[in-house]
Amino acid sequence: MVGGGGLVLPALGILVIAVVVFGTVQWLRPAPAATVRAMDTTFTLAGNPALPWPKLGEAALAVSGVGLVGSSGSTVPVPIASITKVMVALLVLRDHPLASGQSGPSITITPADVTQYQTDVSEQQSVVAVIAGEQLTELQALQALLIPSANNIADTLAVWNSGSVSAFVTAMNAEAVTLGLTHTHFVGPSGFAPGSVSTPQDLIRLGQAAMANPVLASIVAMPAVTLPVAGTLQNYDYDLGHGGFIGIKTGSDGQAGGCFLFEAKLPVPGGTATVDGAVLGQQAAPIVQSALTASSGLVQALASQLADRQLIHRGQQVAEVVTPWGARTTAVTTQSLSMLAWPGFDLAGHLHVDRIGSTLQRGQRVGTLDVDVDGTTHAIPVVTAGVVHGPGLGFKLGNL
């Protein structure tokens, strides 16, 4: 019996040592990191924009630097008539750039150009008169293309730029891909063929790219142009100079109806808003005027609803910080975000979480709320609203 008792003491000592070692290891063992869980990161203004969308056709409206306001009608690509010429001008100026004040090289009107003009006249297309040997500068040709909307000059520019109409049309479609116009396709440079189609949303992108070129923007702002043979011709954009409209292109024919791709500048508190839009498929006669009237109504209605509005408030809860041992706090934004917006406008944020530990101080950064606004990302730091304490002994001993 004495010998057996002697064995108990060493065993008990070993057990005590094991417990102490286990406890020490568990205490010193790093605790699991806290977890950051995103809450609702969609921010929406109350209400809906009250806009007089046309009852027929398709339309879309956007504010530059902010995003799409809304759209109406089908999303299926439809004929766009002479709005096609905006891509023609953009492509010509890409391949033969002009600086403000430059006229560019001369383009000689050939007998083939005259024949094309006569064919277009017989088909009652939109044309400007030309004669063989007439000299047009690049700038004059672009003015003839965009202001009186000359189909024959669209063909002349296509051949001058790319060697043939077919090669130019291939380049037009390639440029559409580059611009992200996923629902746009061209079959000719004038838009007379109904196979040249697009959507209002795509056309807004095209219009914004066009108006970013100062020479093109200056042409579509002209109320009239005087050409060597054709004389003085008026711009079909009768909204130009009214209600903030600064361009850009009308279009009309039997398949497309009345169409208008436009840009307007609207005064808003603290600055100016650039509004881009497109109205397609208007059938009420006169069809071009119907498209212009619908566009003007949309812009005027939006103007009264645009204001600088706060979408995200400083201290707004966007996440929760939690731990396996029950410690928790919220995470909040450190900055507010205000921008030009309208009723019903919404933003979607995405929370990027930093690598964090098991204990956090109040105001410690845990991530970034990235908010994309029309291609521009606003990064708002996110911090803890309270303290997160590490685990106690009970948790450490009870969790291997």
Q: Name the percent of the chain lying above pLDDT 70.
A: 91
Evaluate the omega torsion of the peptide bond into residue 107 and state whether it is cis, within 30 degrees of 0.
no
Range of 265-269, 270-274, 283-287 with top mean pLDDT: 283-287
Per-residue pLDDT reduced to its tens digit, 151-210: 999 999 999 999 999 999 999 999 999 999 999 999 999 999 999 999 999 999 999 999
Structure tokens at 128: 């400007």
Q: pLDDT value at position 14?
A: 64
Q: For the chain, where do the domains classified as CATH 2.60.410 start and end?
A: 28-45+310-398
C-alpha distance from residue 114 to each of 85, 111, 157 (Å):
20, 5, 13
Contact (CB, 8 A) for 223 and 216: no
CATH dotted code for 28-45+310-398 = 2.60.410
Per-residue pLDDT reduced to its tens digit, 4-19: 556 665 766 665 564 4
Q: pLDDT value at position 1?
A: 44
Q: Is the pLDDT of residue 118 over 50?
A: yes
> To which H or E segment does residue 159 belong?
helix 151-162
User: Residues 173, 175, 179, CA angle at the centre, nearest 5°?
Assistant: 115
Structure tokens at 182: 């996923």
Q: pLDDT value at position 25?
A: 46
Q: For the chain, where do the domains classified as CATH 3.40.710.10 start and end?
A: 58-304
Q: Rounded to an integer, what distance in angstroms lies between the CA atom of residue 14 and that of residue 243?
A: 91
pTM of the model as a whole: 0.86
C-alpha distance from residue 19 to each of 13, 14, 22, 312 (Å):
10, 9, 5, 53
Q: pLDDT value at position 31?
A: 74
- Single out the residue of 258, 357, 267, 354 nearest to residue 304, CA to CA: 267
Name 83's Cβ contacts closer than 8 Å, sequence gap at least 6: 191, 198, 203, 206, 249, 250, 251, 259, 261, 278
CATH dotted code for 58-304 = 3.40.710.10
Q: Is the pLDDT of residue 272 over 80?
A: yes
Q: Taking the mean position of all CA atoms in its chain, how far away is CA 46?
A: 22
Q: pLDDT value at position 17?
A: 64
- Can you spell out the DSSP letters for 45-56? -SS-------SS
User: Of the ranges 19-28, 126-135, 247-256, which one carries the lowest mean pLDDT score?
Assistant: 19-28
- Can you spell out the DSSP letters for 77-96? -EE-GGGHHHHHHHHHHHHS
C-alpha distance from residue 241 to each of 123, 244, 248, 359 (Å):
32, 6, 11, 62
User: Residues 164, 168, 173, CA angle at the centre, nearest 5°?
Assistant: 150
Contact (CB, 8 A) for 388 and 323: yes
Bridge partners of 192?
none
Place of tokens 């606003």: 378
User: Of the ranges 9-23, 68-82, 205-219, 339-353, which one carries the lowest mean pLDDT score?
Assistant: 9-23
- Single out the residue of 170, 188, 290, 306 nearest to residue 236, CA to CA: 290
